Each structure stands twice: as C-alpha cells, then as structure tokens.
Structure 1
Amino acid sequence: MVLAVVVTAFAVIGLIHLYFWKRLVRDTLRPGPARRIGTGIAVLLAVLVPATLIGTRTGHATWLAWPGYLWLGCAFYLLLTLAVLEVPRLVIRLAGRRSADTPAMTTAGMPASGDAPTGPAGPIGSPAADTSSGAATPPGIDRRLVLARGAAVFAGLTAAGVTGYGVRTALSRPRIDRVQIPIAKLPRAMDGTRLAVVSDIHLGPLTGTRHAGRIVEVINSVGADIVCVVGDLVDGSVAELGRFAEPLAGIESRRGAYFVTGNHEYYSGYQEWVTEVASLGVRPLRNERIELDGLDLAGVNDLGGAQVGDPPDFRRALGDRDTTRPVILMAHQPLAAEQAAPYGVDLQVSGHTHGGQTMPFNLLVGLQQPVVSGLGEVDGTPVYVTDGAGFWGPPVRVGVPPQVTVVDLRTR
C-alpha cells in the first residue's frame, strides 16, 4: 500500500515536470544547445522534489530543504498559471484553424481561386499584380513560438512573484486574531477569561529557534490567562529539533500553558515530544481534563494517534465531569467535534487546517474538515479553528498569514 502511494506520487511528480518541459522548454526553444540545457534543468528539478521529501524526512539531506521546498512552492503556482493559460491557448489555436479553413478574399472581394479575373501579370488582386509595391511580401513571423514564449515568461514571473510574497508572509510575525465567544455556563467571576490559541507551529529544518521565539513573543504580548497549543508543534525528532523548541519555556500565562498532540507528532516520535514539552513548562493533556477555577479545560489526543495505538478518548476526557461547569476542549482537528458533541462541549479550539495555507488550496481543505478557519459549529458544538502560526512543506503562505488567536470568553 505504502509502495503504491510512493510510486504514484513519483509518477505524478514526473508527469508535472514533463508538462513543464513541454511548455517551458520544447515549445519555446528551437533544437540546439539552449533546449538541451533547459531539458537538463527540468530533469534536475524533477529529481530535486523527491530527493527533498526523502532527505528531510530521514534527516540525511536537510541541506536540500530550502531549495527543494522553495521549488515545490513555486511549482504549485507555475502549474496553476500554466493550466489557466491553456484556455486562451486553446482559443487562439481554434481561431487559427477557423481562419485557415476560410477562403482567402481578394481586395476586390472576390474569392482567390483559379476562376478569378486575370490581368497581364496574373490574377487581379494578387501580390504580383501590385506593381506599385516594388517588393514581395516578407515571410511571416512564427506566431506560435512568440505566443509560447510570452506565456512562459508570464507564467514564470507570476509563479516567482506569488511565491516570493508567500515566503515573506510565512516567515513574518504572526498576526493576532481576536474573537469574543459567549459561554452560557461561564461564571461571572471568569467573564473575560482570555485564551491564547496557537497551532501548527511546525518546527522543522527551515525554521530555526527564531521561529518559536517570534511566536512566544506574540503570545506573551496578549496577557493570556490560558495558553492552548493545539498540536502539530514539530516535524522531526527531539534530537533534531529540541533546541528549536526551547523558547516555549518562556511562555507567560496566569493559569498555565497546555498542549495536545497533532497528527505530525505521530510522525516525529510523540512519546519523546510529550516528555520534552512538559520539561519546557507546557503541560500535555493526554485524554484528560483539569479544573481551572470555575472552568474545565480538556484535551484529547489527535485522531491520527489511533494508527499508532495512542487514540483520542473522549469518554475519559469528558465523560465523568460536572456538566454544570463549562468545558473547553483542545483537539487538533476540527473533525474531532463530531465525537465530542455528545458530551456537551461548550467550545472546541482546533488548528490543523492552516486556513488552507496557500490559496486556492483552502477550497480543498473544506472537503475534509467541517470548519476551515474561524468560528463555526459542528453538531451544535462551537468550534474555533486558528489558521496556524507556522507552515508545512513549502515556506509559503498566500492569503492566509500566520496567526495567534485570542479568545475572550464572555458570559451571556
């Protein structure tokens, strides 16, 4: 099964780069040294993508991370732009065929056929009959080559520009998104309780320690009562990335900072990370619940943990609680609300979606998750989904800047 997925992925990568070669090399360059160089570059880029994915995942070629993931991000928008350009390309081609099928007309409005009136120099209206010109009509320009080169330049500049903007956005300081959410059971003494919700930090080979430090600075700037780190903290082992997580020890909050696993923790040695996060002063909530004055805070393992024997347990986290008290549930995926709803959760805070990370990919995320970004409702349960403070894969965010969410809980 895994082998089939890998083979399919490599085949898709190969076909995409074959398409790039056709549109950007074969269609734009005549046979010769330039085309051979372009072909070589296309092959190298095709090899770079799987080499980067394998090398960064195994930790044996992390030096490929920046060039490989940058090209992966650029390739996405290059493919999108070229696909859009296929429409005018088809229209121009059809128009050219239609004009070729239409009989040519003379300047006198007569069909240019063998039955046309003739004069001493040949058929009336023919170039040879126009003795005032003094020269034959020059050969036409290769319109197809000009159009192909124009499309290639436009697609390349568009992809590079959008990718550059996306990189700058992805590496920028997270913005603060503020929302007030009423909780019917919230005691008046806890009105205005402030949650800082952050997800999808994705510490990895492209981030360094500055990434986590920048996020912690934003968290500390909001004066949170409770900090909720809702999964996908890392993309690698503690041995590789432990030093990148050290700034988390500086998180400031009145009632503590808490963590639940995301699906990426299960690719990265979740047991070690649970221990490491706890050592930094961020308490993991492992299918459990704690009481914070008049509020219950619960956390469940990610849905992906079921594949490695560490599944979410909603009954354990929520089943025996005092239902007169409000409960906030930390769960990485918004989809978890479908299982949490029967337990009367007052609010679920989640991440996972990145808000789509790169437009128009956000349109596809909604096919898998019931809420993509912001406040929504799943089976009667309010769910707030933060857009994530980091990035996964290419260091690119387009239309969805990194985010730390401040949730002010209010009594009704």
Structure 2
Amino acid sequence: MLFVAVILLVIGLIHLYLWKRLVHDTLRPGTARRIGTAIIVALGVLVPVTLIGVRNGYVQWLSWPGYLWVALMFYLLVTLAALEIPRLLATRLWARPKEPEPEQGPGTQPEPKPERAPGTQPEPAPETPAIERRLVLARGAAIFAGLTAAGITGYGVRTATGPPRIDRFTMPMRKLPRAMDGTRIAVVSDIHIGPLTGVDHARRITRVINSVNADLVCVVGDMVDGTVAQLGRFAAPLAEIESRRGTFFVTGNHEYYSGYAEWIDEVAELGMRPLRNERVEIAGLDLAGVNDLGGAEHGDAPDFARALGDRDPARPVVLMAHQPVAARDAAPFGVDLQISGHTHGGQMAPFNLLVRLEQPVVSGFGNVDGVPVYVTNGAGYWGPPVRVGAPPQVTVIELRAEN
C-alpha cells in the first residue's frame, strides 16, 4: 500500500506541475482555464486507472489512450523541465524595466489628464508589458513542449510497434570446441505479449528470428503480460520458431505476475524447452538457465548451484538469466557468457539513466564481476507502446573458438 501511495503522489505532483506550466501560466482566469484544469485532472486520473486496471484485466479499452498519455506526460515533463532555466533567464531579461524617460525641461507643464464624467467607472489599468511578456514566454514554452513531446512519442510508437531489428555480436570463447565454431544463438527477450499487442506482434518477431537461421534460440524471459487464458492465442505464432539445435526458455519477472506455472507448460507446447535451474549439453557446450530473481517471492527462486555446479569445467557454459544483475550470483561458477534482457535498453530515453541504477548493464556487452554479459533490448515493450533510443531487437550472438 505504501508503494501505491507513493506512485499516486508522484503522479499527482507531475500533473500539478503540468497544470501550472500548460494551463495556469498560459491562460487567463476564465472558462478556458477551467476547461484546461478539468482536462489535466481527468488525465491525472487516467494514469492510475490504466496502470492498475489494465494489469488486473479490466478497462482494456483504456490501454492505448492511457498508455499513450503516460508517454506524452513523460516527455512533456522532461521537455518542460529542460526549459526551466532558459525560460527563467528569458523572463528576467525581457521583463527588465526600460530606462526612465528624461525629465522635462524647465517651464514645461505636464499634460493634464482628461477629466472623468460624473457617474462613469474608471477605465481598467492596462496590463503591464512584463505580464504580457511572461504570458508570451509561457505559451511559447508550452507549444514547444507539446510539439516536442508529440513528435517524440509518435516516433516512439512507430519504432515500438515495428519489427525488431537484428543486432549482431561476435563472442570469442577459449574453451569452445572447433565443431561449435560459428554457432549462432538468437537471443530474444521481453516480448511482452499483452492486450495491446494482438497476434501480429508474435508473428513479426517469429519472422525475424527465423530469418537469421539460428542454431539455438534463447527466449530469456518476460514473454507475456497476462494469463494463458487471456493470451494463449496471441502467443501461438511462437510455435513456428525454427532452430537447428533447439529453442529454450527461462522465466522473467513478468511470468510471475501472469501465472508462471501454466506458462511453463504452455511454452513446452509451443516447442520451447524450459530450463528450470538446469542445463543441457549441446555438442560440447553447456547451455544453462535459471529462474528469474523475482521467482523467490513465489516459491520458485533461482538456484545457481543446481544449474551450474557439478559440471565439467573443460566445457564452456552459456547462462540464460533474465536480469543482468544475476551475473553477480553466477560469477563463482565460471560462466563464459550470460545472456539477459529485462532492461529494454531503457525503452524511453532518458529513462535508461535510471535503469543503470538497478542493473549493471543496460544494453549490449558488459562485464559483471568477471562474467561477460550481453543484454538485448528486448523485442516488445511494457506499458506505453513507445521506444525511444532503444529499438526492439533480436540479438544474434556468434560464438567463435579461440586458439
């Protein structure tokens, strides 16, 4: 409850700031300001209704407008915050009073003010130039922020809902058998099949995976955002994934929000082999998989010793683990490569800067406590159907034998 209260407070404060900058500062008191205020209040209510209702299977019709407003809200906030200092400087410079008029020479008489007829009301004093200038600046900033946020969000929707791009990486391995030299592993994560995606989402991803002619396909978690009953038909195209040596799956944190036990059975029906804290040997290469770290809260914790202990150290091992930070637990077992997702590459820049506070690698290749880790951006999206600075990916890792 405390977490929910904090989220609601943050949402409220963000909308209060947006109201101040987009409504209060740009509109004079009256009908227009009241309408603007009502719109901001309605949008503020829409956010928690969408985040809570959609996740629990309600108000699905709000998914698109609700999540699109979340993205617009985020980029309005970022743009307006970035404009605060320039706006303050411009306001001070533009509103600076002019030099006083020179005093009139001796003998000159001030121009008399016209007398007001008895019974008439005095004319209202005109607004000072400083107030008019502040209004112009406020409206200019609001228009610029609105156009910028709309443009970025539109670009992000097109990117997120398009086919994933193929990201290629070559990984040398000292212990890799010559027979496995050139092995291609297609890594896909964070497909996030959900109420917004429909069946075409899985079809697009399947086509991209099949286009790379992979030897192995590794689905490293967060495949779904809903139960088998809700989304089973949307996931059906994944059964058409092709690979020479098999398709494998490990859980992500979102499987534990979606009925993970049923999904374990379902992915097996789709032709994927779940690796449940276990490993398989493939022509001299060990492929291991651990349950997601979030599984601990559901009685399904990762077990690195079971997946990686008691194996032949002469064979290289590739570990499938949803979160990059899992490499810290895998480090004592001499992992040659960990493949992960979870971060979405940040999904909506500059959110990637916050992701880095939680995960040691946000996108691409990194080293965590001596473990080489490759993090794919993921092929789907969570929440807003928007990706900015982190396009959807299917990563192809080619293993190369060293001397």
**Paired residue for 1:389?**
379
> What is the alpha-carbon distance in structure 2 between the residues aligned to residue 186 and residue 19 of structure 1?
56
> What is the alpha-carbon distance in structure 1 between the residues aligned to residue 274 and residue 266 of structure 2?
10
Question: In structure 2, do the counterparts of structure 1 residues 139 and 197 end up closer, same or farther at CA, with 3 Å as the change threshold?
Answer: closer
Q: What is the 5 A alignment of 1:42-81?
A: 42-81=40-79
**Paired residue for 1:17?**
15
User: Percent identity, aligned pairs only?
Assistant: 70
Shift of 1:375: 1.1
Pair 1:252 & 2:242 matched: yes
1:360-404 Cα distance to aligned partner (Å, 9 max, x none): 111111111111111111111111111110111111100111000
CA contact (8 A) 2:319 2:337 kept: yes
Find the partner of 2:257 among 256, 267, 273.
Answer: 267
> What is the alpha-carbon distance in structure 2 between the residues aligned to residue 397 and residue 269 of structure 1?
27
> What is the alpha-carbon distance in structure 1 between the residues aligned to residue 107 and residue 321 of structure 2?
89
Q: What is the 5 A alignment of 1:75-94?
A: 75-94=73-92
> What is the alpha-carbon distance in structure 1 between the residues aligned to residue 142 and residue 270 of structure 2?
50
Shift of 1:350: 0.5
Question: In structure 2, do the counterparts of structure 1 residues 119 and 257 end up closer, same or farther at CA, with 3 Å as the change threshold?
Answer: farther
Q: What is the 5 A alignment of 1:146-295?
A: 146-295=136-285
SS at match of 1:228: strand
> What is the alpha-carbon distance in structure 2 between the residues aligned to residue 411 and residue 310 of structure 1?
35
- Uncovered stretches (5+) of structure 1, i.e. residues with no partner: 124-137
**Paired residue for 1:37?**
35
Aligned length: 386
- TM-score normalised by length of structure 2: 0.93
CA contact (8 A) 2:91 2:133 kept: no
Find the partner of 2:399 among 393, 404, 409.
Answer: 409
> What is the alpha-carbon distance in structure 2 between the residues aligned to residue 122 and residue 322 of structure 1?
103
Q: Which moved more, 1:33-42 or 1:322-331?
A: 33-42
Q: Which amino acid aligns with 1:87?
A: I
1:157-185 Cα distance to aligned partner (Å, 9 max, x none): 11101000000000011100111100111
> What is the alpha-carbon distance in structure 1 between the residues aligned to residue 398 and residue 321 of structure 2?
18
**Paired residue for 1:134?**
none
Q: What is the 5 A alignment of 1:342-353?
A: 342-353=332-343
> What is the alpha-carbon distance in structure 2 between the residues aligned to residue 96 and residue 411 of structure 1?
66
Find the partner of 1:305 among 295, 298, 311.
Answer: 295
SS at match of 1:7: helix
1:211-260 Cα distance to aligned partner (Å, 9 max, x none): 01100000000000000000011111111111111011000000010000
> What is the alpha-carbon distance in structure 2 between the residues aligned to residue 269 and residue 306 of structure 1?
14
SS at match of 2:279: strand
Shift of 1:355: 0.8
Shift of 1:122: 4.0
Q: Which amino acid aligns with 1:301?
A: N
Question: In structure 2, do the counterparts of structure 1 residues 233 and 139 end up closer, same or farther at CA, with 3 Å as the change threshold?
Answer: closer
Pair 1:120 & 2:125 matched: no
Q: Which amino acid aligns with 1:63?
A: W
Shift of 1:94: 3.3
Q: Which amino acid aligns with 1:331?
A: A
Shift of 1:207: 0.5
CA contact (8 A) 2:323 2:342 kept: yes
- TM-score normalised by length of structure 1: 0.91
Q: What is the 5 A alignment of 1:374-385?
A: 374-385=364-375
SS at match of 1:195: strand
Pair 1:27 & 2:15 matched: no
Shift of 1:105: 3.8
> What is the alpha-carbon distance in structure 2 between the residues aligned to residue 334 and residue 69 of structure 1?
27
Q: Which amino acid aligns with 2:283?
A: D
SS at match of 1:53: helix
CA RMSD of aligned residues (A): 1.6
> What is the alpha-carbon distance in structure 2 between the residues aligned to residue 333 and residue 31 of structure 1?
51
Shift of 1:305: 0.7
- Uncovered stretches (5+) of structure 2, i.e. residues with no partner: 112-125
Q: Which amino acid aligns with 2:138?
A: A
Q: Which amino acid aligns with 2:266?
A: E
Q: Which amino acid aligns with 1:120?
A: T
> What is the alpha-carbon distance in structure 2 between the residues aligned to residue 117 and residue 368 of structure 1?
73
**Paired residue for 2:309?**
319
Q: Which amino acid aligns with 2:187?
A: V
Shift of 1:19: 1.3
**Paired residue for 1:127?**
none
Q: Which amino acid aligns with 2:57?
A: G
1:130-173 Cα distance to aligned partner (Å, 9 max, x none): xxxxxxxx986511111111111111111101000000000011
Shift of 1:5: 1.1
